[in-house]
Amino acid sequence: MRAYYFDNLPGDQRLQHDSGRPLDLGHLRKLGVLYWTVPLDTAGGYEAEINRIAEQQGYKNRDTINVTKEGLGDLYESKLGSFFDEHMHEDEEIRYVLSGSGFFDVREHPSDEWIRIHVFPGDLLVIPAGIYHRFTLDELNEIKALRLFKDEPKWIPYSRSQETESNPFRIQYVKEIAAV
């Protein structure tokens, strides 16, 4: 995982867009973003460590998503577009990268700057409920990830708007990070 401020320059969203301003895990934690490294070749398999973290965090369900042209078929372009639209969820977004790589961009509050998080195999990333974010593939054009959920799997994006600013999950998120 590598985190830095997004440069906001026009161009292909799949490129680095590195501003040259790196960030560390401590900064991400202040925003409620959690991160673990769980190597795929962990002795005994990565599953045991993922299961331990899932139990600790209360993640009860999981599935796998394969974001490739082959994996998504005719939905590939529309799904990539919807993933990259700025949005929030009322649940945490938890991803463990099995193969490939991509970018999660999160909005820093209160500066409203984009922070780009480049994830690779073995990265486990938790995006908190209520934070504005987006996702895109990088130049490899593929990622396979284990998705973990606290309850039944659901993925409901709420596009950023005046309405989402008054969403109880957004309000709670802003209140929690202000207390850090």
Spell out the domain ranges in the chain.
2-6+24-178
Residue 87, marked binder: yes
pLDDT tens digit sequence for 104-162: 999 999 999 999 999 999 999 999 999 999 999 999 999 999 999 998 877 799 999 99
Alpha-carbon span 80 to 85, nearest angstrom: 9
pLDDT tens digit sequence for 33-81: 999 999 999 887 899 999 999 999 999 999 999 999 998 899 999 999 9
pLDDT tens digit sequence for 13-28: 999 999 999 999 999 9
In which element (H, E) is residue 100 found? strand 93-100
- The reply to whether omega before 110 is within 30° of 0 (cis) is yes
Alpha helices in 58-119 (DSSP H): 69-72, 76-84
The CATH code of domain 2-6+24-178 reads: 2.60.120.10
pLDDT of residue 18: 98
Alpha-carbon span 94 to 149, nearest angstrom: 7
**pTM of the predicted model as reported, rounded to 2 decimal places:** 0.95
Residue 109, marked binder: no
Residue 89, marked binder: yes
pLDDT of residue 42: 82
Cα R_g (the chain), whole angstroms: 16
With a pLDDT cut of 90, the percent of the chain lying above it is: 90
Strand partners of residue 104 = 117, 135
